[in-house]
Amino acid sequence: MTNLMDKKNVTTNQIRHNIGKNVAMQRFNKKTTQLVIGIGLILLTACNNRQSKTTSQTEIKPTIVQPNIDSVAIAIINGKIIDGTGKQAYNANIYINADSIVYIGNLTNSELKIGQTIDAKGKNVSPGFIDLHAHGNPLSTPDFENFLAMGVTTITLGQDGSSANVRDLKPYLDKVNQQNLGVNIVEFVGHGTLRNLAGIGVKSKITEAELEKLKEILKEQLQYTFGLSSGLEYAPGLYAEESELIALAEIVGNENKMIMSHMRNEDDDAVIESIKELSRQGSNARVHISHLKSVYGKGTARANEILDTIKKIRKSGIQLTADMYPYMASYTGIAIVFPDWSKTPQQFEIAKKTRRKELEEFIRNKVNLRNGPEATLLGSAPYTGKTLAEAAASKNKPFEQFLIDDLGPQGSSGAYFVMNKELQEAFLKDPIIGICSDGSKTGHHPRGHGTFAKTIETYVVKDSILSLEEAVRKMTSYAAEILQLEKRGTLAIGNKADILIFDSKNIKAQADYVNPHQLAKGFEKVLVNGKLVRNNEKLMSELSGEVLFPE
Ligand SMILES: [Zn+2]
């Protein structure tokens, strides 16, 4: 068709003229916009066949043909569109009806009725961000303003092997859907939760009947979710043998879903083996590394070794992807520094009585390897905001004894300063690495309130490591592609209207390790499913997030 058009040598003005005359076009409604564009071009070609010769060659832009839209709920005008694909920003208006984008361009219909006009002059307009790995309880904190304030309109829950502890997921998700939800929710089935639901708990060897039970519950819950999550550094997931994980991956693959994994070990000397373990499940299903990091690994060269491992696996045909968060400290339960044989309360009681010396030594070595007790910031009362070194000193004890006597593996959460800037930044630059917060509204780590703002503030505006278009692509279309989320992640006609309006220079992640619950600044307007839910950085009372179900 393009060739044909070129041959006809038509001018833009003539095309406009022809459209004006074309009464037939008026009958098309807004839902058939794309069809209209296609048919419009055919009609134009036909019309031009009857035209006399014209002069210059002009590139024909399909958006010139407008659908007959006589009213829109919201028009976002004069904005600079960053559409999420990574393509360079361009100026255009966006028109919204109900929960969807009905047109991008400039509607010139003089009769057009507009419910609300938002002037985005001098601002960027982008898709809402999609958080690939988040935490939180939608029944207790449904507004999730921490996410909205940093531009996130969709979060992914049920992570690290832990999802809603219910056998029948559908009524649970329906109940979540009835909340005044700030963001859209994508749910995963937790592998650890499956083990608990099947009555397996922490044992390693499972029977054939137990495996069948796991498969049965998984298959059922996958109907309403986007895949399986595993948390192989946590009980009970860490006790699973590889054969169990491979068998479950087969079910996931059969249902065309994916596995997101907090891998078995993120330490520098184990991370590559962990990636390989995950990739073996990738023969059966799409696989994804959650919060890629190398604990105590350093430097760009090391990052490249890890990235090369991932790329080699991808080249072999395995669909392997990854995400990360832009902070140098991780955050999780203090059990992370306890040995596998002392992670549950029962195991811990036995270990204290029978293997005390060994336990002390393990914890001492592990914490020291993780940059020492000064690099662990406790996040639970009564020690919130104190380093492990300070908390232990307040009890006049070596830190390993404090951890055993005063905390225990369930006693606290902590932020651990175990990551290296050069290494993490090399990950961030790579196009195959997406962005996640791994955060929540209540966790004592700034990532839950800052991640997506920090990505723009630090890595786009301040350090110019990523272009704004590329940062937005990672946080939108790339995430949607990984999740196979339909109609989100790009600004396109027919897609859902999850939209942000902002000036990148004004984006600020306010949260830090001392005050991790400060909302990010700069996302002036946030729309979720076509509704304005944050206006001039104020939360509306009526929110419009939804539980998203696979198509
Ligand atoms: Zn995790």
The CB-side HSE value for 438 (13 A sphere, CA atoms) comes to 24
Cα of 289 vs centre of ligand 1, distance in Å, is 10
Cα of 222 vs centre of ligand 1, distance in Å, is 20
Cα of 391 vs centre of ligand 1, distance in Å, is 25
| pLDDT tops 80 at residue 47 | no
Is the model more confident about 57 or about 313?
313
- The total of other beta-carbon atoms located within 10 Å of residue 199's CB is 8
* Measured CA distances, 2 to 49, 60, 124, 436 (Å): 14, 8, 31, 41
pTM, 2 dp: 0.85
Q: Specify the residue for token string 């219909």.
A: 109
Question: Which band of pLDDT confidence, cut at 50, 70 and 90, is reported for residue 551?
Answer: confident
Mean pLDDT for all residues in the chain: 90
Task: Return the pLDDT at 64.
Answer: 56
340-392 pLDDT tens trace: 999 999 999 999 999 999 999 999 999 999 999 999 999 999 999 999 999 99
Task: Return the pLDDT at 60.
Answer: 52
* Measured CA distances, 356 to 348, 360, 369, 393 (Å): 10, 6, 20, 21
Chain centre to alpha carbon of residue 74: 26
Chain centre to alpha carbon of residue 32: 31
Cα of 260 vs centre of ligand 1, distance in Å, is 10
Cα of 411 vs centre of ligand 1, distance in Å, is 18
Q: What angle do CA 280, 159, 348 make, to 5 degrees?
A: 90
Alpha helices in 293-434, H assignment, sequence order: 300-315, 345-354, 356-369, 388-394, 399-402, 421-429
178-220 pLDDT tens trace: 999 999 999 999 999 999 999 999 999 999 999 999 999 999 9
The tokens for 528 are 């979720």
Cα of 439 vs centre of ligand 1, distance in Å, is 10
Across 104-113, 221-230, 254-263, least confident range: 104-113
Q: Specify the residue for token string 């596995």.
A: 259
Write out the DSSP string of 166-227.
-S-HHHHHHHHHTS--SSEEEE-EEHHHHHHHTT-TT-SS--HHHHHHHHHHHHHHHTTSSE
Cα of 232 vs centre of ligand 1, distance in Å, is 9
The CB-side HSE value for 476 (13 A sphere, CA atoms) comes to 31
What's the residue count for the chain?
Answer: 551
Cα of 374 vs centre of ligand 1, distance in Å, is 22
Cα of 157 vs centre of ligand 1, distance in Å, is 11
Cα of 507 vs centre of ligand 1, distance in Å, is 27
Q: Are 244 and 208 in contact (CB under 8 A)?
A: no
| pLDDT tops 60 at residue 260 | yes
Q: Which amino acid is at 180?
A: N
Task: Return the pLDDT at 38.
Answer: 39
Cα of 403 vs centre of ligand 1, distance in Å, is 22
Cα of 460 vs centre of ligand 1, distance in Å, is 26
Average pLDDT for 399-420: 95
Q: Specify the residue for token string 């140098």.
A: 328
Cα of 428 vs centre of ligand 1, distance in Å, is 18
Q: How far apart are CA 245 and CA 229, in angstroms?
A: 11
Cα of 234 vs centre of ligand 1, distance in Å, is 9
Write out the DSSP string of 214-271.
HHHHHHHHHTTSSEEEEETTSTTGGG--HHHHHHHHHHHHHTT-EEEEE-S--BTTTH
Cα of 251 vs centre of ligand 1, distance in Å, is 23
- The total of other beta-carbon atoms located within 10 Å of residue 256's CB is 12
Cα of 414 vs centre of ligand 1, distance in Å, is 13
Cα of 384 vs centre of ligand 1, distance in Å, is 21
Cα of 193 vs centre of ligand 1, distance in Å, is 15
Cα of 161 vs centre of ligand 1, distance in Å, is 9
53-109 pLDDT tens trace: 343 445 555 555 677 899 999 999 999 999 999 999 999 999 999 999 999 999 988
| CATH numbers and ranges of domains, the chain | 1-68 (no CATH), 129-329+419-548 (3.20.20.140), 331-416 (no CATH)
| pLDDT tops 80 at residue 24 | no
Task: Return the pLDDT at 8.
Answer: 35
Tell me the Cα Rg of the chain.
Answer: 26
Task: Return the pLDDT at 65.
Answer: 63
Cα of 303 vs centre of ligand 1, distance in Å, is 19
| pLDDT tops 80 at residue 37 | no
Cα of 290 vs centre of ligand 1, distance in Å, is 7
Cα of 162 vs centre of ligand 1, distance in Å, is 10
| pLDDT tops 80 at residue 25 | no
Task: Return the pLDDT at 281.
Answer: 98
Cα of 471 vs centre of ligand 1, distance in Å, is 22
Cα of 529 vs centre of ligand 1, distance in Å, is 28
Cα of 262 vs centre of ligand 1, distance in Å, is 5
521-540 pLDDT tens trace: 999 999 999 999 999 999 99
Cα of 41 vs centre of ligand 1, distance in Å, is 50
Q: Are 435 and 132 in contact (CB under 8 A)?
A: yes
Q: Are 83 and 470 in contact (CB under 8 A)?
A: no
